[in-house]
Amino acid sequence: MNFQTIELDTWYRKSYFDHYMKDAKCSFSITANVKVTNLLALLKKKKIKLYPAFIYIVSRVIHSRPEFRTTFDDKGRLGYWEQMHPCYAIFHQDDQTFSALWTEYSDDFSQFYHQYLLDAERFGDKRGLWAKPDIPPNTFSVSSIPWVSFTNFNLNLDNSEHLLPIITNGKYFSEGRETFLPVSLQVHHAVCDGYHAGAFMNELARLAADCKEWLV
């Protein structure tokens, strides 16, 4: 759980950070349709649901660039976590509420999926916002809105210091022979630009297309 501090005065993003944290406070969101044809076919063959696989590939992308892990620590220092764990929403059908679980990240999908199943079994029926206790500080947020194939999704955060990405997927849909999953990414402009948002979506699409590399 190592946190690498950033020396703001010498940081290459200092002018951008200062501008978007002080003069023009803003986050932005982007939504893209990620092709999941290959991924869904392989998941069906292996009898694995899409959601844990989606959480895993999002976690892989989060670890691909430090910009996606840049935040403030509990002492208010700017920096980035060397490793982060997904904190994700699960839905309770009986009362239409949700709870948040978190699962320790592993590069190895089988290990991550095993831990995901253990967490779901142990905490999945618990109610309240935070179903699994002891949430570590190095987590990021993932959720799903599987009832609608949205074309845009945005969270109106009243917190200019929330720097970490927030990722949400929707209901997948078919166009011809291909299947697509709408994915929304929300980032803070102080640490991420349009280039980084594009890199996030492109890497997510690559991992979905090349799922045989990790889904073994």
What string of DSSP letters covers 105-154? --SSHHHHHHHHHHHHHHHTT--SSB-SS---SSEEEEEE-TT---S---
Pick from 201, 197, 188, 199: which is nearest to 72 by CA?
188
Handedness of CA 121, 127, 129, 135 (dihedral sign): negative
Q: Tokens representing 211?
A: 């799922």
Q: Which of 19, 162, 189, 196 is catalytic?
A: 189
Tokens 């904190």 -> residue: 87
92 is catalytic: no
Helical ranges in the chain per DSSP H: 14-18, 37-46, 50-62, 109-123, 194-209
Catalytic residues: 189
